Amino acid sequence: MMFRIAISSRHWGGQAEEALRVFEKMVQEGYGPSTMAYNALVFNFISLCDLDRSISYYKDMVENNCPPNSDTYCKMIGALLKTRRVADALQMFDEMLAQGVLPDTGVITSFIEPLCTFGPPHAALMIYQKSRKAGCTISLKAYKLLLERLARFGKSGTVLKIWEEMQESGYPSDKEIYEFIVNGLCNVGKVDAAVSVVEESLRKGFCLGRVVYSKLNNRLLEMDKVETAYNLSKKIKHGRTLANSRNYCRANGWHL
């Protein structure tokens, strides 16, 4: 324990090499390296942004029968994603699941979130699919991140599939989710399906934002679906009237 504390304390003064000497001394004195000791060493180099050496000692701990734990994987994968080494992060995520180490809901969200800020959504989708297959619980925030990113890239089929799986997991759809779905369908020209989603949202008491509605309305007009656009505008107007009435009643403490 004292050796581990000594190793983990060295990075505060930028003494990574000193931490390594303490680690080597521990081994020389007959104290077998442990997962906790390796973690302290790996985390030191992560804090110094030396990921290559972190990976090197991660591999050493595996070879020396010191199984990485949840902390090891989470720190390593998080650091790899931060530096956009996506392929390495996905490989380590596969190793994590193969060892039976299952990430909790918050950890999965922390992996998906950065992957939804750059590049195509493929990597984020892989994390989601593999986590779900392993029996992990996906957060509502993760679902929203995926739906928004997939919609932006026009992956309407995948958007609808993820939306269905989200509802199967017990999460209700809110205004934000409906807007993601409509936006994704508009991006690929599936305006009839988008209209159906808007109508469903209105039935559930959600009135979509003007930006999303304007986008759908313009697409309908571009495709000469004037009557559909007109009928939808009447429903939207009625929906906003009802929403305003509900808000007024709530503001005055009245209950409908």
Tens of pLDDT along 89-111?
Answer: 999 999 999 999 999 999 999 99
Specify whether the backbone of 244 is left (phi greater than 0), alpha (psi in -120 to 50) or beta: alpha
Give the DSSP letter of residue 170: T
State yes or no: pLDDT of 84 exceeds 70. yes
Query: DSSP readout, 180-209?
Result: HHHHHHHHTT-HHHHHHHHHHHHHTT----
State yes or no: pLDDT of 247 exceeds 70. no
For residues 68 and 58, the answer to whether their CB atoms sit within 8 Å is: yes
Percent of the chain with pLDDT over 70: 83
H/E segment holding residue 23: helix 16-28
Could you tell me which of 208, 195, 198 has the C-alpha nearest to residue 243?
208
Alpha carbon dihedral 46, 51, 56, 61, in 10-degree steps, equals 30
Q: Phi and psi of 100, rounded to 5°?
A: 80, 15
Q: What is the CATH architecture assignment of 80-164? A: Alpha Horseshoe (1.25)
State yes or no: pLDDT of 155 exceeds 90. yes
Which pLDDT score is estimated for 173?
A: 95
For residues 63 and 33, the answer to whether their CB atoms sit within 8 Å is: no
One fold for 1-67 and 80-164: yes
Q: What is the mean pLDDT of residues 16-38?
A: 70
Q: What is the CATH architecture assignment of 1-67? A: Alpha Horseshoe (1.25)
Q: What would the two tokens of residue 42 be?
A: 């790996």
pTM: 0.85
Q: What would the two tokens of residue 203 be?
A: 């039935």
Q: Between the CA of residue 17 and those of 14, 30, 31, 44, 62, what are the distances in Å?
A: 8, 20, 19, 10, 21
Provide the mean pLDDT of the chain: 88
State yes or no: pLDDT of 30 exceeds 60. no
Q: Phi and psi of 121, rounded to 5°?
A: -85, 10
For residues 147 and 177, the answer to whether their CB atoms sit within 8 Å is: yes
- Token pair 């759809």 is found at 173
Could you tell me which of 195, 130, 131, 197 has the C-alpha nearest to residue 159?
197
Q: Phi and psi of 69, rounded to 5°?
A: -105, -170
Q: Which residue has the higher pLDDT, 225 or 248?
A: 225
Tell me the pLDDT band of 185, cut-offs 50, 70 and 90: very high
Q: What is the mean pLDDT of residues 218-237?
A: 93
Residue 127: count of CB within 10 angstroms of its CB: 24
Tell me the pLDDT band of 54, cut-offs 50, 70 and 90: very high
Q: What is the mean pLDDT of residues 10-31?
A: 60
* Domain ranges within the chain, ordered by starting residue: 1-67, 80-164, 173-256
Q: What is the mean pLDDT of residues 223-240?
A: 90
Q: Which residue has the higher pLDDT, 126 or 9?
A: 126
State yes or no: pLDDT of 5 exceeds 70. no
Q: What is the mean pLDDT of residues 10-26?
A: 60
Query: End-to-end CA distance of the chain, in Å?
Result: 63
For residues 227 and 201, the answer to whether their CB atoms sit within 8 Å is: no
